[in-house]
A and B are shown apart, each in its own frame.
Chain A
Amino acid sequence: AQSVAQPEDQVNVAEGNPLTVKCTYSVSGNPYLFWYVQYPNRGLQFLLKYITGDNLVKGSYGFEAEFNKSQTSFHLKKPSALVSDSALYFCAVRHSLGGKLIFGQGTELSVKP
C-alpha cells in the first residue's frame, strides 16, 4: 500500500533563512510525487512534482524539492524564507501505474520576521 509521511507537524524558520519541509513515502514501485501549499480557508495550490528525470525539481515561488530514491524522500526546500511563505504544506504520492493520490497530514510552516 502507498503511504506518505510528513514527520513534522510544524516548522519554524526566521525570515531569510533556508527552509526544509520533510516528506518520506512508501510505494512498491516508481512514485510520482507532488507538493502543494494551502493558505488559510483556501484550496490547495500546486507547487511542483517529480515524475522522472532530474532528481532536483524546481517549482513555483522559488521552491524546489529533491527526490532521493534510496532514502524514499522528497523534501521541499527554499534558500531564503519569506514571511508570506507561512502556510500549510502537503506532500502527496501516487504510484506511476495509477491509483489514488495519497496525501500526507500536512506541515504548518511559520516564518517569523
Chain B
Amino acid sequence: DGGITQSPKYLFRKEGQNVTLSCEQNLNHDAMYWYRQDPGQGLRLIYYSQIVNDFQKGDIAEGYSVSREKKESFPLTVTSAQKNPTAFYLCASTPGQGPQDTQYFGPGTRLTVL
C-alpha cells in the first residue's frame, strides 16, 4: 500500500448525501484509477485518469464523479444518484500509461450507506 493513501478508511453516509473519497499518491505516477469491489464480483473500474485535467469513464461510472487537478490527487465523489453505493473502494496508480505497467493500490475506503 506504500505511496498511495486513501481516506477515510471507513465512511458512513445517509441516503441522499454526496460523499468524497480521497486518494493521494507520492509516487509521481502519471495514471490513477478508481475501482469498486463487491463480494464475489472482483474489481470493477469506475473512472481513470492518464494525465492531469483529463479522465475517462470506466465500466460503472454512473452515479460517480472525479477530478484530476493535481498529479498526486484523484478524488472520487459518490453522488446521491448512485443507487447502491455500499462497497469497498480502491484507488490505484501506474507509473506511466503502458500496458505492461503494474497498478499499485491504496488501502481502500469502505463506504456504508445507512
CB-contacts of B93-114 with A (<8 A): 98-100, 102-108, 110
Question: How far is the CB of A50 from the nearest CB of chain B, in Å?
Answer: 10
Question: How far is the CB of B93 from the nearest CB of chain A, in Å?
Answer: 11
Most chain B CB inside 10 Å of its own CB: which residue of A32, A42, A43, A100 = A43
The count of chain B contact residues (Cβ–Cβ below 8 Å) is 24
Report Cα–Cα, A55/B62, bound state, in Å.
40
Interface pair B99/A103, CB less than 8 Å apart: no
Q: Residues of A with Cβ closer than 8 Å to B?
A: 9, 32, 34, 36, 41-46, 49, 51, 90, 94-101, 103-106
Q: Residues of B with Cβ closer than 8 Å to A?
A: 1, 4, 6, 40-43, 45, 58-59, 88, 90, 92, 98-100, 102-108, 110
Residue pairs across A and B with Cβ atoms less than 8 A apart, 29 shown, are A34-B102, A34-B103, A36-B105, A41-B88, A41-B110, A43-B1, A43-B4, A43-B6, A43-B90, A43-B106, A43-B107, A43-B108, A44-B92, A45-B105, A46-B104, A49-B102, A90-B43, A95-B99, A96-B99, A97-B99, A98-B98, A98-B99, A100-B45, A100-B59, A101-B45, A103-B42, A104-B42, A105-B42, A106-B40
